Structure 1
């Protein structure tokens, strides 16, 4: 870990299993860290910069980094993984900034309000389910690691060993004929 950001807890019991890291702030160039400008500097100037180092951050802070699962939304259907998957699909570095959008009354916006917000600001919107469907249709999800020929009393079979590109689990397929 180049930035030295550790997990907030070892035994995550949060209902969605979001992988929270210890909060951070930029080590310099900010005031208290709580303002939108200070958080933007921490996110965009430090966390998004591939040359940043651990000494560019202080802990604890006001920005809460989240770590995405390696397999993205196919491993965990969460907002964190969706942000990283969308960045990858766009050809960008695998990182993102997420936030909740609030209604004027302080409540969290739900899909109907989010659709209106997106239309008003000319933004695209998609669901995590749509992102999962897109990845399942377009990505190779297993890799063949080995094929072993097995002669048996019932004929010749090939044992194929596959590894999931999502979670590294192994799968076997016993095949007879082609």
Structure 2
């Protein structure tokens, strides 16, 4: 599989506003957006080519600040899904691409407070590993690290990519590069995110 590297594409090209990035691991691939810059058009594209379940990866301490409880109460200090949310204002049913984009931007805004979110909702926050990508090399942690490295809030929307050739299954890693090329999107392996991280 051919993927971009930080030597080939600068970070601002990888995370261009309004355009998803294909982020792949050895076992899966996902469409990723900086949460702070999620647009309705970009989210509609993500939903169309994914499972439709859109998460927002956030550091665990940010989930605590926003009072986002874990979906499984017995689980607290590791990576895992939190209770789904909607933006408290500016949305209708919460499920449309426009509504979910609004909620995702709220999760990506540094000024958002707990009262700005209703629970439950239609967007699933995901608390990343306490040590981030250094503690767990996975798509949510890598997506948050990419946002951090570009100076954006540490929050990234992500959704698992569906196979372009067989919509009954999720995309295999070797399909992600072809999908990205077909749609003019950058593609990056999560291991490459460790390169600039190691030098920070």
TM-score (normalizing by structure 2)? 0.59
Paired with 1:122 and 1:102, the residues of 2 have a C-alpha distance of 17
Asked whether the equivalents of residues 79 and 129 of structure 2 are also in contact (C-alpha less than 8 Å), the reply is no
Superposed, which structure 2 residues align to 1:9-158 within 5 Å? Answer: 9-12=72-75, 18-44=79-105, 46-104=106-164, 105-136=167-198, 138-139=199-200
Tell me, which stretches of 5 or more residues in structure 2 are unaligned?
Answer: 1-63
Asked whether the equivalents of residues 73 and 128 of structure 1 are also in contact (C-alpha less than 8 Å), the reply is no
> Quick check: which one's strand share is greater?
1
RCO higher in structure (CA 8 A, sep ≥6): 2
Tell me, which stretches of 5 or more residues in structure 1 are unaligned?
Answer: 140-178
Structure 2 vs 1, CA of residues 133 and 8 (structure 1 numbering), >3 Å: closer, same or farther?
Answer: same
Q: How many residues align?
A: 134
Query: 1:19 offset after TM fit, Å?
Result: 1.7
CA RMSD of aligned residues (A): 2.2
Paired with 1:124 and 1:83, the residues of 2 have a C-alpha distance of 13
SS of corresponding position for 1:59? strand
Query: 1:87 offset after TM fit, Å?
Result: 0.8
Paired with 1:106 and 1:43, the residues of 2 have a C-alpha distance of 27
> Quick check: which one's helix share is greater?
2
Larger radius of gyration: 1
Structure 2 vs 1, CA of residues 135 and 52 (structure 1 numbering), >3 Å: closer, same or farther?
Answer: closer
Query: 1:133 offset after TM fit, Å?
Result: 4.6
Query: 1:134 offset after TM fit, Å?
Result: 4.5
